Amino acid sequence: MKPWHVQPYNRNEEAYGRATLQGAACAAEINNVLTAVRNRMKSLPAAHAGAFNAEQNALIAVNAERYYRSAVRSNAESWNIRDRHMMETINRLMSFHGPEAKIIMWEHNTHVGDARYTDMAQYGEVNVGQLTREQHAAEGVFIVGQGSYQGTVVASPYWGGATTVMPVPAAMPDSWEAALHKQEPRNKLILLQAWRNEEALTNKWGHRAIGVVYDPGQKAGNYVQSDLPNRYDAFLFTDQTQALHPLNTTGGRAAAPTPGPFTIPLQQAANF
């Protein structure tokens, strides 16, 4: 085996994905590792934590290879690989901890909100919220979404970039966030099941998606058309958000400085 520092795709998964277009592949080798781990597990107790962790790490490698190979070919397929991996992990954890186990998943709205009730469905995309309902509805699944009207948020302008405080402009007029602000501009938790009986409330309106990567000036591109009452079971609405400050998790060392303000061209700012 080559030393890590001469591996051709070390720490550059996207480069591996692009290389697969020219025939590069390591899927067979990674699947062999998973097979070897599973064969070793046969001699260990079913509840052996070390065996569970070893298999999980091997599964991550297998699904990551599939993800990066697909990412250069199809956005929908690579998205589905990622969310199905999350769902597989959830099911493995539930199985490992036994029939009385319960789980709380904290994910972005686009992962946890049922994709069947958004415009994601027309692109062939599924997500954890949809898969969880399809597989475990009888056991009790409750999905809570989040959104805000305006304020600030910590995010990055590009993947892998430094985080910074960004403005969250007032929600677009034809969005759920704007409607909730107009109806009653305060923080609230809304139980949505009763709304499903009102036809006017199950229309698809824009619902803002703010992720790790965010561009406040993109406006319409930040919104996912959503039937809110069916996408979630409840919705936590914060009218005015304030960017969070990172916790000191450095073991006694000083925490990283609070991100500075996000700067944008004046012309772009004037369009908010």
Per residue in 10-32, pLDDT tens? 778 889 999 999 999 999 999 99
Q: pLDDT tens digits, residue range 211-237?
A: 989 999 988 889 999 999 999 999 999
Pairing of strands 144-155, 234-241: parallel
Q: What is the pLDDT of residue 10?
A: 77
Alpha-helical (H) ranges within 137-250 are 176-183, 228-231
Window from 47-61, 121-135, 136-150 with minimum mean pLDDT: 47-61
Rounded distance between C-alpha atoms, residue 189 and residue 66, angstroms: 39
Residue 81: left (phi > 0), alpha (psi -120 to 50), or beta?
A: alpha
What is the pLDDT averaged over residues 163-170? 94
Q: For residues 58-80, b (16+ Cβ closer than 10 Å) or e, as one string?
A: bbebbbbbbbbbbbeeeeebbbb
pLDDT at 186: 93
Q: How confident is the model at residue 255 (pLDDT cuts 50, 70, 90)?
A: very low
Largest CA-CA distance found in the chain, in angstroms, rounded = 66
Please state, in angstroms and as integers, the Cα–Cα distance from residue 15 to each residue in 11, 21, 175, following that order. Answer: 9, 10, 38
pLDDT at 143 over 60: yes
- 44-58, 129-143, 253-267: the lowest-pLDDT one: 253-267
Q: Per-residue confidence at 257, pLDDT binned at 50, 70, 90? A: very low
Residue 169 has pLDDT above 60, yes or no: yes
Query: What is the set of domains in the chain, with CATH numbers?
Result: 4-111 (no CATH), 144-270 (3.40.1660.10)
pLDDT digits 0-9 by tens, 40-79 = 999 988 778 899 999 999 999 999 999 999 999 989 999 9
CB 235 within 8 A of CB 147: yes
Record the pTM: 0.83
**Per-chain mean pLDDT for the chain:** 87
CA 179 – CA 173 distance, rounded (Å): 7
